[in-house]
Amino acid sequence: MSKAKVRTALVTQFQARHIDAALKYYESGTERFIARDWDRVAQDLGKFVEAVTKAIMAFGGITSATAGRQFKVSNELKRFENHQPLMPDVLRMVVPKALIYITELVNNRLGRHDTEIDPHEMDASAVMPLGSWVLAELVRFCTPNTDQDEATALIQELTAKVVPFFEVIEGRTYVYNGHVLKAEEVALLLLYHAYPARVASDELVRAVKRHGIAQSSAYRGVNKLTNFVDDGDDGWVLRTGGRQKAEVLLARLIQ
């Protein structure tokens, strides 16, 4: 996502502090989605919705009925339709309805295990594109007619499908486009996906090889990560620095 361009468009109408928060959590949610970290997608999208809600409230001069921890996003959003009738419909009704759907799903499903069938992946697959649509709609609202070409390009980028970077087949994990990554990058992402579980170093070498990487290269790549892991009796697990390194790599790969 061209974050700088999106921010430039949005701060023409909305307070920068709310937009910066919204973009921070949107980007984080995207990274979690790609990493198949469904629970944390829920956390980030919930905070994204709160930031966008506050941005619209500030735009319309709407004062919250509650403050601090008592602030309830869904309650505020439901007030919009009958509040400030002169506020543009896209901010009064269209975007709020999408935000309500996201927040209701996040609060009532994404954080829970209410059946034997885990709904987290399919729910994250619903709310992540909708978050992208909300940003695209706000960009469209903020863009003057003279900048339509650039706005169209941004909107197309925002609404492009985000896909998870990992695939699991009968317990074997694959990194999307892993064949074009370095061996140590594939190994790093495999450990990141497995966290907090441990992976035996020899199994990690075999997992890297499954990405079309030669045995010798896979072995060298895995051993480059020794400073980023805790080596226990049951295998390797990423330390904090390793997880941070993996998140930086994921952020680069989705640009």
What pLDDT does 93 receive? 87
Does the N-terminal peptide bond of residue 129 adopt cis geometry, omega within 30 degrees of 0?
no
Residue 167, strand partner residues: 174
Residues 19 and 49 in one domain: yes
pLDDT computed for residue 66 by the predictor:
64
Distance CA(140)–CA(152), nearest Å, equals 8
Quick one: 142 and 192 in the same domain?
A: no
Q: Note whether 125 and 200 are same-domain residues.
A: no
Of 111, 140, 158, the residue that ends a domain is 158
The pLDDT, as a whole number, for residue 67 is: 62
Domain final residue, candidates 115, 133, 158: 158
3-state secondary structure of 237: strand
Residues 19 and 136 in one domain: yes
Instruction: Give one DSSP letter per residue of 160-227, joined into a string.
Output: SPP--SEEEETTEEEETTGGGS-HHHHHHHHHHHHTTS-B-HHHHHHHHHTTT--HHHHHHHHHTTGG
For residues 87 and 48, state if they share a domain: yes
Please check whether residues 105 and 200 belong to one and the same domain.
no
- Does residue 151 share a domain with residue 212? no
CB 189 within 8 A of CB 246: yes
Predicted local distance difference test score (pLDDT) of residue 160: 66
- Residue that finishes a domain, picked among 139, 158, 177: 158
CA-CA-CA-CA dihedral for 75, 76, 79, 81, to nearest 10: -120
The number of domains in the chain is: 2
Answer yes or no: do 47 and 98 share one domain. yes
Q: Does residue 63 share a domain with residue 180?
A: no
Same structural domain for residues 139 and 192?
no
For residue 22, give the nearest of 56, 58, 47 by alpha carbon. Answer: 47
CA dihedral 112, 115, 119, 123 (to 10 degrees): -60
184 and 240 housed in the same domain: yes
> Dihedral angle at the C-alpha atoms of 78, 81, 84, 85, nearest 10 degrees?
180
Tokens encoding 232: 């226990």
Domain of 187 in residue numbering reads as 166-253
Report the largest interatomic distance among the alpha carbons of the chain, rounded to a whole angstrom.
67
DSSP, res 65: S
pTM: 0.68
Q: Are residues 129 and 216 in the same domain?
A: no
Here the CATH number for the domain that contains residue 82 is 1.20.120
Residue-level pLDDT, tens digit, the chain, 255 residues: 577 888 999 999 999 999 999 999 998 888 888 877 888 888 899 999 999 999 998 998 887 766 656 678 888 888 777 766 678 888 988 999 999 999 888 887 655 555 555 677 888 888 888 898 999 999 989 987 656 677 777 777 777 666 677 887 888 888 877 667 899 999 999 998 888 889 999 999 999 999 999 999 999 999 999 999 999 889 999 999 998 898 888 777 765
